[in-house]
Amino acid sequence: MKRYQAIFEGNRQWVQEKRRQQSDFFEHLANGQNPEFLYIGCSDSRVPANEIMGLAPGDVFVHRNVANLVVNTDLNAQSVIEYAVTHLEVDYIIVCGHYGCGGVRAAMQSEDLGLLNGWLREVRDVYRLHRHELDAIEDESARYRRLVELNVQEQCVHILKTACVQKQFMRRKRPTVHGWVFDLSDGLLRDLEIPFDEIMKDVRQIYRLGPDAG
């Protein structure tokens, strides 16, 4: 209980520090949000979006779930994307995974995970798509790290399949989609340099949901 109550004292100290740094910080915060970034990350408690990006409240619109998945039938994730892209008009969509992801590792275990079975099947599908590359990696740790990267890549592809992203990109050449991985061991972000233009062109050969601009 003491730990729980300490949260409120920590909150008061945070408020005081923010007001010390900027007297109108909360007045400005209450006026609305205009973030440039939509961040889709893992629910892991060790990966706080704003902090690892070095950004302030209001700078990043955030959605998190187990293993940073973008599932077509997940109305939560799809609603977040729709709102961020159509109404907030973010310029960048980031999918951020992290090495040592428990969800990715759990997906590759041969055991019944209950309710998680259906959710983590998405990660197993990523493994299936890239099985030849992954099976060729003998070191288990390196194989899981690569699966984390490939999972991020595939979630980026899923985002590019959505109508709102395609329509906004055809209209204003934004947002662009990027894949990152956070390394817990050193705190650094790694840009996977997903070939956005190439993937968008390829995706629209099949998932074309709107006319080209111009």
Catalytic position from the list 42, 96, 156, 164: 42
Catalytic position from the list 19, 46, 124, 171: 46
Catalytic position from the list 63, 96, 98, 145: 98
Q: Is 164 a catalytic residue?
A: no
What would the two tokens of residue 137 be?
Answer: 């990696």
Q: Is 44 a catalytic residue?
A: yes
Catalytic position from the list 96, 101, 156, 164: 101
Residue count of the chain, please give it. Answer: 214
Q: Is 96 a catalytic residue?
A: no
Closest CA to 177 of 94, 109, 104, 114: 94
Amino acid type, 41: G
DSSP the chain: -HHHHHHHHHHHHHHHHHHHH-TTHHHHHHT----SEEEEEE--TT--HHHHHT--TTSEEEEEETT----TT-HHHHHHHHIIIIIS--SEEEEEEETT-HHHHHHTSSS--TTHHHHHHHHHHHHHHTHHHHHT--SHHHHHHHHHHHHHHHHHHHHHTSHHHHHHHHHHS--EEEEEEE-TTT--EEE----HHHHHHHHTTTS--SPPP-
Q: Which residues are the active-site residues?
A: 42, 44, 46, 98, 101
